[in-house]
């Protein structure tokens, strides 16, 4: 099983030490049974010394067993911490396009459900390990008492285990289907939470979402979880009944077939009773281990980036003069829309506006320009030199961006990830008219309960604090009031240019196109620069061009 293989690769020696401790625990358990057989059944020891010896063995057995289980559980939690940490790092290192294709609901299900199932499996792993070790050790001890009885008992136990595995295999199939249904439910939860305003306004849509989407998925989940639990409980009860049947079988072989005396039969029965709880726990642990295997399979299907423990240290291109996209093309795997070939040259310090209708490829171009999407073909050149394909971080270090679906971070960071320049932050908080709204504590924003337009201002503050060369703004002014929109185009953008920033702004505000150094247009995935009369026409009526 992959869980054990990963533990073996990553924690080999601690795992060996824990297994050794488990062996000692099993040996003590069998030794305790042998002590009872020799001192209390076959030849009764009437001295008072037998009681402290017996109690001492009990205390020692409890201490070693508890120690081995705690050690294995602690090792498991270290492993799960490492697994979760590596998973987050792999998400951070994976291409944005791949993350978008997977979807946040699927990844959240992986982070919560799959990691949780692996955690539960590791917590139950000691029960499986203890059960196996105790069974093997007890079988070796019973062989010394009666080989014939051991063979028959072993066949009975083999039948017990086979029946258990048949039932557990059914559990696995339902758990695998259950995991796929969980993805659907996470998407349903996201729909209800993210669309809460629209669903509150339109109760018919809410009813449709509830009755036609959520309820069928929830019923499918209920069906498979009930079936999985049914087969799991059947496996547990099968094992329980068969273990009790084994005790009756032992006394029948001893008394009816004469294969052993009553003392040996009693020792056999005592040993089987001793094994009953560990074996039932081991059978009970199997479904959790199967769930962990399903989780591993699901995580593997994400095809995230290979884990790298260190974050790259990109080089800063602070002296660049020109940035060129040469014959760059891009296409989405799930549809036929494509962008390009794009030919674009940006000069340092320029203010460039990009216009275009919905679905024209503006946002795709923005993702290509910032290096968040990788071109299918073509080159990106900096001062005439092609960028190295294996170090996109060097190129991305040029950019800060405010996208339409902005996510606000509560910590201001400056250049190279250092604390932001307090003078720069203070100046821009006032310039963005947010000094009465924001409270900072060592660069941490204490309250982000803001309107959408105010959130965009904070996002611009975060971008400026990073002190990067190029700032991309995706329809930044769309959520601003008319007064501040004018302030943005007539005051803020010129101030940013005066700081030496190169600005690439997606905009539909035709009244302010005159402030741009250049005006570009995306149409059906193709890029063109508007000059002369075309630019004048777009500045008069951008709506007409996007019709």
Give 325-368 pLDDT, tens digit per residue.
999 888 887 666 788 788 999 999 999 999 888 888 888 888 88
CATH 1.20.1560.10 range(s) for the chain read 2-301
Pairing of strands 444-445, 440-441: antiparallel
In degrees, to the nearest 5, what angle opens at C-alpha 368 toward C-alphas 367 and 373? Answer: 75
pLDDT band at 411 (very low <50, low <70, confident <90, very high): confident
Please, what is the end-to-end C-alpha distance for the chain in angstroms?
59
Question: What digits encode the pLDDT tens for the residues 138-196?
Answer: 788 788 878 888 888 889 888 887 887 788 778 877 877 887 788 788 888 878 877 77
Q: Over the stretch 498-526, which tens digit does the pLDDT of each residue have?
A: 998 999 999 888 788 888 889 888 888 88
Distance CA 483, CA 504 (A): 22
Determine phi and psi for 28, rounding to 5 degrees. Answer: -65, -40
Angle at 455 between CA 453 and CA 459, to 5 degrees: 120
- Tokens representing residue 331 in the block: 């296409």
Check pLDDT > 90 for residue 42: no
Lowest mean pLDDT among 277-291, 383-397, 511-525: 277-291
Note the pLDDT tens digit of each residue in 430-443: 898 888 888 888 87
Q: Is the C-alpha dihedral spanning 31, 36, 41, 46 positive or negative?
A: positive
| Residue limits of CATH 3.40.50.300 in the chain | 322-546
Q: Would you state the pLDDT for residue 389?
A: 64
The angle at the Cα of 284, spanning 279 to 290, to the nearest 5 degrees, equals 120
Q: How far is CA 5 from CA 15, 105, 503, 517, in A?
A: 11, 29, 51, 60
> What per-residue confidence (pLDDT) applies to 503?
93
CATH of domain 322-546: 3.40.50.300
Q: Indicate the average pLDDT of the chain.
A: 81
Rounded Cα–Cα distance for residues 472 and 211 (Å)? 43
Rg over CA atoms, the chain: 34
**Any idea what the Cα angle at residue 378 is, between residues 373 and 380, rounded to 5°?**
65
Residue 406's closest CA among 339, 499, 475, 336?
475
**CATH 3.40.640.10, applies to 2-301:** no
Helix axes 147-194, 215-255, angle to 10 degrees: 170
């Amino acid at each position: 099983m992959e869980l054990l293989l990963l533990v073996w690769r990553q924690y080999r020696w601690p795992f060996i030490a824990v297994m050794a401790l488990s062996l000692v625990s099993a040996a003590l358990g069998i030794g305790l049974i042998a002590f009872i057989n020799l001192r209390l059944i076959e030849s009764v020891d009437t001295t008072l010394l037998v009681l402290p010896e017996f109690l001492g063995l009990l205390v020692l057995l409890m201490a070693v067993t508890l120690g081995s289980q705690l050690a294995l559980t602690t090792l498991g939690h270290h492993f799960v911490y490492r697994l979760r940490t590596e998973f987050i790092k792999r998400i951070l290192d994976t291409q944005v396009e791949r993350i978008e294709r997977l979807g946040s609901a699927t990844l959240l299900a992986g982070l919560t459900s799959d990691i949780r199932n692996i955690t539960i499996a590791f917590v139950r792993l000691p029960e499986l390990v203890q059960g196996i070790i105790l069974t093997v050790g007890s079988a070796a001890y019973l062989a010394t008492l009666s080989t014939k009885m051991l063979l028959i008992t072993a066949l009975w136990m083999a039948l017990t285990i086979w029946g258990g595995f048949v039932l557990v295999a059914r559990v696995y199939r339902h758990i695998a289907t259950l995991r796929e249904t969980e993805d659907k439910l996470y998407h349903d939860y996201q729909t209800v939470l993210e669309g809460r305003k629209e669903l509150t306004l339109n109760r018919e849509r809410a009813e449709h979402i509830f009755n036609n989407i959520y309820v069928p998925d929830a019923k499918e989940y209920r069906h498979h979880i009930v079936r999985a639990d049914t087969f799991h409980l059947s496996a547990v009860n099968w094992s329980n009944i068969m273990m009790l049947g084994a005790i009756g079988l032992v006394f029948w072989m001893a008394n009816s077939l004469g294969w052993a005396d009553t003392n040996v039969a009693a020792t056999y029965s005592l040993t089987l009773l001793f094994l009953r709880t560990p074996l039932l726990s081991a059978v009970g642990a199997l479904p959790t281990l199967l769930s962990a295997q399903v989780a591993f399979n699901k995580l593997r299907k994400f095809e995230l980036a290979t884990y790298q423990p260190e974050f790259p240290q990109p080089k800063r291109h602070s002296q660049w003069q020109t940035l060129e996209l040469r014959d760059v093309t891009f296409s989405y795997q799930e549809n036929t829309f494509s962008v390009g070939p794009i030919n674009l040259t940006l000069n340092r310090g320029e203010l460039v506006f990009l216009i275009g209708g919905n679905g024209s490829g503006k946002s795709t171009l923005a993702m290509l320009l910032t290096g968040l999407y990788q071109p299918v073909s073509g080159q990106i050149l900096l001062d005439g030199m092609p960028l190295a394909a294996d170090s996109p971080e060097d190129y991305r270090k040029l950019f800060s961006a405010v996208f339409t679906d902005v996510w606000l971070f509560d910590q201001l960071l400056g250049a190279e990830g250092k604390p932001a320049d307090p003078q720069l932050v203070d100046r821009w908080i006032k310039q963005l008219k947010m000094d009465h709204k924001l409270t900072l504590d060592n660069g941490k924003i204490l309250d982000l309960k803001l309107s959408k337009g105010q959130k965009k201002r904070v996002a611009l503050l975060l971008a400026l604090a990073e002190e990067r060369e190029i700032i991309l703004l995706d329809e930044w002014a769309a959520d601003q009031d008319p007064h501040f929109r004018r302030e943005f185009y007539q005051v803020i953008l010129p101030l940013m240019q005066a700081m030496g920033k190169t600005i690439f702004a997606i905009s539909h505000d035709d009244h302010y196109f005159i402030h741009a150094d250049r005006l570009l247009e995306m149409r059906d995935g193709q890029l063109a620069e508007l000059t002369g009369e075309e630019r004048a026409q777009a500045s008069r009526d951008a709506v007409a061009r996007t019709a």
